[in-house]
Structure formats: C-alpha cells, structure tokens
Amino acid sequence: MIVGAVMPPATDHASPSPAGFAFPKARRLRRRGDFVRLHPSRARVHTPHFLLLIGEGPSVEAAARLGVTVTRKVGSAVERNRVKRLVREAFRLDPALLPNGVDVVVIAKAGAPTLALADVQAEWDVVRGLLRRRAHEVLRGERAPSRKGRP
RNA sequence: GUAGUCGAACAGGUGAUCGUCGGCGACGGGGUCUCGAUCUCGUCGCGGGAGGAACGUCCGAGCUCCAUAGGGCAGGGUGCCAGGUAACGCCUGGUGCGGGUGACCGCGAGGACAGUGCCACAGAGAACAGUCCGCCGCUCCGCGCGCCCUCUCGAGAGGGAGGGCACGCCGAUCGGUGAGGGUGAAACGGCGGGGUAAGAGCCCACCGCGUCGACGGUAACGCCGACGGCACGGCAAACCCCACCCGGAGCAAGGCCAUGUAAGAAGGCGACGGCGCGCAUGCUCGCUGCGUGCGCGCCGGAAGGGUGAGCCCGCCCGGUGCCUUCGGGUAGGCCGCUAGAGGCGCGCGGUGACGCGCGCCGUAGAGGAAUGAUCGCCACCGCGCAGCAGGGCGACCGAGGCGCGGGACAGAACUCGGCGUACGGACGACUGCGACC
RNA sequence: GGGCGUUUAACUCAGCGGUAGAGUGCGACCUUCACACGGUUGAAGUCACAGGUUCAAAUCCUGUAACGCCCA
C-alpha cells in the first residue's frame, strides 16, 4: 500500500467518510467513558510499538473514531505529544483503515517516540487485513467485550 | 595564540499541500428556554496559537472559600549592615571572613558570663582541669670521692674506727612547676628577651584578646590612642535565648444550572421562655386595662453541629428540630480563564537594585487535552570529493562548487515575582601566560 | 495540575552525631548412606548522588535524581 504519506489511498472504495482527510470531533473519542468501555475488548491487534483495541461505535453509519493513550512510561511530555500527533496523522490520512461504526483505542508501547510518520504507517499497513477482520467481527457481535470476565 | 572570569541577547528563516485549537463575522443541523438568547456540532471567510527554562514545586504574592482572619499557647520560618520590592528565604550596594597570580568568586556571618547539654578514641588531664615522663627545692636513708678533727695500731710509710663539712649519684616522703616530652580536632594566649632553685604575664617589647575614649561612617565596621595583664576552649545547620515574620487550604479553590447530603424506615435526644405589633374573641356601656388563640418581627437559649494541621478562649449555625443506623444516585454542562505588580522605547533621579513621567504595542486559553505532518528552497556547522580559480621557491593554504550528515534542553493547564536544575551555538568586556612588532 | 512520602548487604528492614547491624538468602565445614532440618563459621555495603556545618555525617542543612502514594 501507500506508505508515502501525502497521497490518499488510491483504492478509496466508496469510503463513506465525507470529510476526506479532515479530522473533526466526530472522529475522536472525547470521553473517559469511551476509553473505559474499550479496555476489556477482546478484539486486539499488536504491532511492535502499539496495541490497538477495537470496539463497537455509537452507530453503524458513523465514521470510525480514534482515541490515543500514551502513558508516562513511554517518554517525556514532548515525546508523548509527538507520538499522539503521529498516531492521529496516520489515522487521518488513511480513512479506509477501519470500517464505519467502530471505535479504536491506540495504546503506545515503549520505543514509540523513535518512530517517524512513515514508520507508523508501515507498521499499521502490515496488520491492515487483520484489523478489518477484527472490526467486522465486532460489528457482527462476535468478540464483544466480556464484561463479566473483566469487572 | 592559549587558559580563564563576567555580562547581555538569541533559541534558524521561508514556501506549498493536508490538518488542529480557540476568537470574530455569515450560514445550516440539534438541545434548553422566560422566545429573545444561550450551549453544542458542522461549512466558508478573516486574523491569532508554547518556553527561557513552559521543568522541579524550593520560597513569595494575587485570587477563592473557611469568621472581616480575632486573642493566647504550641508550632514553623528568617538571621552581618543599609536599601529595593506588592512580597520574599529574592535582588542591589557595602562590611567582615575565606579562596584565586589575576579578572573575579564563595559564605545560615545574631547570642556560648540566661540556662541545659555534648566534646567518642587516645591521653595524667577535655573546662573555673591536671601531674604520666620530666625539671627544681627541703628533709631522710644508702653509696662514692675530697678535706678537717678525735681515738687507736704501727719503728716508719701507712692502716683501722668514729664524727664533721662540701660535692656527686641512687632511692623515698613532702612541696614547687606548667617551660619541655607525649596524646588529641582542641591542653587555659603566641613569639623573643629578662628573671628564677626550676619555672610561670612574674616583668618587658611586638602580635592577639578585652575595656574605655577620640575620629570617620546612617549602620555593619574601620582606624588611632590609653589602660588591663589573660579573667573569655569549641559546638546554637544541639536544645535554647533574642529580634523580626507567619491563620488554614488550595482553580480537583470556588460559584451557577441539572440533581437524591432526597423520599421512606428504625432507634435515641430535646425546651422552650420573654417583649412588641396586627387580627379574632371573652370580661367591660365604651376607651384604657386584663385573659385566650393565631400570624409576623426582635431578644435570650436546649439537644446538636461547624470553626479546613493541634489545644484553649472566642465566633458562627441551629430555634420544631437534632444525632445514629438502614436505604438509595449522578460521574454531565457553564463560569472562574486571561489586561497582567504587562512588554518595548525615550527622558529624568539614583553607585545600583529600582522609582517617576511620556509615548507606542495588544500578546495562546485546551479539557483523552490544540499549537502538528510531509516535501522543497535559503542560511549555519562538520566531514568527504575533484585537489578547480587563486596564493606560496616549497611542504602546503585554499574563496567558490558538488555530495553526505547535523541543529540542543525541552510542551502552557488560574496568573504573576524569584530561586534551583537541564541545555545549543554565536557576541562583547576584562584577566593571566607565551610569542612577535 | 496540586499535595505528600521513601531511598542502608542479593531481598525485607533496624540504626538518627563517634569503627554500619538483624532476619532471610549465599559460600565452607560438621551431622546423615544421601537430602532436608540442626550446629559452627565466613563473605558480602560509594548508607541514591553532589555540596556544606562539625574534630568527626548513614544521621544535621541545602540542592539533584529515582521510585511510590493521595485528590472528584
């Protein structure tokens, strides 16, 4: 796929996100409750520097929403801010990464501050198929968060 | 050239594309609603968007609530002097002490005759001290040598015994001594001379210390003179004393909207009293007066509660309620939220910190949390290349060109003033050393 | 953002001016046929770091670092 950043994915298969590359508030998780809701999710994808949690969104029609978690273990305030910006940028420039109707929380692991934008995009591109499969499983009701198992 | 000291400033620039936060204007969807607003989501346009340390949270303030922040105790802080400041533990200028050849730098730097305490080990002795080795003196015992006297043996030379005097040595008792040795971080002034039995501020000069006085300085203190004759060890970043300062918590403060410290249940505690006004009513012919009931206001006050680190005084709430237990919910929105003891420039006053006056500027306000991403160009630094133009007798130096690499520490969370810590490369002034003119 | 606390042996902790200690663990020896238990003995520490006060600092003061806790 396209890793070279600026250009949008050529296979923009009728992406319903009307805003193009915009990143409005509707595409972001803005409440602590949203994050807590995704934490017990069993739909998880690991990459060398990130952990992605996928869960059901508020509506099947709505575009996928992103939340970023970078704890103090990852680095200083400057490094944490940079990681969050890169994650948001990679999500913004790739609207087809996830289907509509899902939420995703990206948790940074140690070492993430050393990455550039192209590194993040390449890392995610490797797991693209797995991400979409997990997302569709969530939308079908499989791999729902087991609230009993995780109080 | 090299090693260093101090000061002030900066924190690469610019363009394109895609984004983001809040402000203003226009438009649209939704919520609330007193129907005019307000909040929220989005589109378009205009202009704005991290730092010198935004950091650590070590001090000081503004602001908010607790009582307008009150009194006492306890507790905490500061600590040479003078000034600056809203304030400070900060800054400036001085003083003293210490470090450096120097430019310059560092210092919690009040009080140890108000009291209490500590000074390990070593050492004789560690605080109004002490005699271990020594030194000195008197006396006594013993020994040695010399001289004198008496007695005695001997023919004599000379020998023996006793006594006396002087000297020396060994030992003992008593006394003097704090000079020397030794211990220690520290041994009750230092050094030199006189003096003495040996010594000692015992005496003297200089130094130190203390007291008094004169002079200079606002002061800390400096300097000069006289006197005293050592009387005054160190530790207060030991308790403490003295002087001055400090109420507590912190924007997750606090306020508004929504709302459940609710409704309800069980147990326990309790207290209502006085005055005034109005209304109704009874006694009274009526006014006045008296009694009863209801309502309102004021005063005192119980049970009980609050007083935001502790205790007391006090203060406040409470007044048909209060306390305990059970019961049961929300996890939202808005304000506070940025004009600030604000910055820059000039002038005046001041050694300076700083103050005063005038002019100009408009400068982030988020809330899972914006200020970014990518690609160019220019400037800067380092390395490499052709060793090119050019310079030099030469080794070599090389403007410019091409390529590669690099640019630190670090991200606002109510706001300021400081301190401390992290960190990049340039600049200016000054100092030491070396070489040359 | 704000308010606090702790750093001492490999681990858990005492010590709070005068040569750094305990328990567990570790090594060696004894005991046992062998192991465990038990006994004897030994090693192991820049007292987080850097300055300062003091004759003397793990201890007192100042600064720094790391780790941890609390808030509606």
Q: What is the ipTM metric for this complex?
A: 0.75
Q: What tokens were used for A31? A: 């409440």
- The answer to whether A22 CB is within 7 Å of strand B is yes
User: What is the reported pTM?
Assistant: 0.75
Pairwise CA distance, residues A148 & A133, whole Å? 24
What Å value separates CA A96 and C1' B137? 119
What Å value separates CA A95 and C1' B45? 27
- The answer to whether A29 CB is within 7 Å of strand B is yes
* CATH class of segment(s) A26-139: alpha beta
Pairwise CA distance, residues A81 & A59, whole Å? 30
Q: What is the DSSP letter of A17?
A: -
A35-81 tens-digit pLDDT: 878 877 788 899 988 999 998 887 777 888 898 888 877 888 888 88
- Segments making up each domain of chain A, as ranges: 26-139
Q: Are A59 and A101 in contact (CB under 8 A)?
A: yes
